Amino acid sequence: MKKYQLGEFEEIVMLTVGVLYNEAYGVSIKKDIETRLSRNVSMGALHTALTRLEDKGYLKTFDGEATEERAGRPRKYYQITALGKRAMEYSRSTREELWRAIPKMALQVKIV
């Protein structure tokens, strides 16, 4: 049973929102993922993931101050919700459980 569903990219986005804390908005999330993971991220894919995470109740948004550089529009910031935190903890514990279940011999691979 999938109690909480987080895809790989969704998990990366959630973790990055946590890392950025009160500075998590679209462009900062994109830049942080690209810098930390050396991975190109399209704004379209990022916005799709952010919307999906918000729809699941894992993220919530709040508006920042309107600025002249954004033509008076406020920046949209993201925060992890209590449900999102539980989903992240579930994902982490599931991964750790799987890692612990791998027999040590399985990871002792010889290169030929």
- Given a cut of 50, the residues of the chain with pLDDT beneath it are 1
Q: What is the pLDDT of residue 1?
A: 45
pLDDT at 70: 66
**CATH of region 8-107:** 1.10.10.10
Write down the pTM of the prediction: 0.86
Q: What is the pLDDT of residues 61-81, one digit of tens each?
A: 999 877 777 667 888 999 999
Boundaries of every domain in the chain: 8-107
- Per-residue pLDDT at 68: 72
Q: Which helix (H) or strand (E) element contains residue 8?
A: helix 8-20
